[in-house]
Structure 1
Amino acid sequence: MDQDYATVEPTREEVDAIEAPLMLEFGTAWCGWCRGAQPFIRQALQAHPDVRHMKVEDGPGRPLGRSFRVKLWPTLVFLKQGKEIARVTRPGSAREIGEALRKIDDDA
């Protein structure tokens, strides 16, 4: 699991080309909601080691977040073969994230 939000974001085309199961996390390091969700995210990802986790710093004018219509942080977007399968905004439990991870994890 990445610890920091990437300030240089990939393009939407690069994200769409990722074939492996992917959880995109949009947020910022200073966001209280984002910090509060980290234990839930870590716990849920432990059961899904084959899912790639990409943390992307979001904010006004950031093209990747806008392309996914992100409005609140953290927003977790779950992709499989470049297609959005599930989304969780401001997760309140590891169970909530785990349900979405199961939808994209080939080995689950």
Structure 2
Amino acid sequence: MTFEPEQPGQPKQELAALLKELRKRAGLSGDRLALRCNMSQSKISRIENGKVQPSLLDVNRILRAVDASAEVIAEVTALARLANTVDDYGSSLDSGIHPGQPRSFHRGHA
């Protein structure tokens, strides 16, 4: 399993699709996965449909719940980090500040 995103936003969509595929391979319904992860079924659905960006903790919970191998855990975690980085960078650009610049500085709060 190797991930090489070609477009912005692609890591987020790849992560969503991969988490959904892993759930299905494990033979779990969205409800059952939600119970195992201590999340709502609607959150699982939003994660799998790319509507919400899962935190690294969310991804870790899902991976443990589907009994993912160490190799899959490493690769999916790397993809999740990339997706979160790309998402953070994009939201920083949307707000008009450089990703390394503190948000409080942008608002005029020193």
Provide TM-score, normalisation by structure 2: 0.26
Q: Scaled by the length of structure 1, what TM-score is found? A: 0.27
Rg larger for: 2
Whichever structure has more helix as a proportion of its residues is 2
Higher strand share: 1
Bigger relative contact order, structure 1 or 2 (CA pairs below 8 A, ≥6 apart): 1
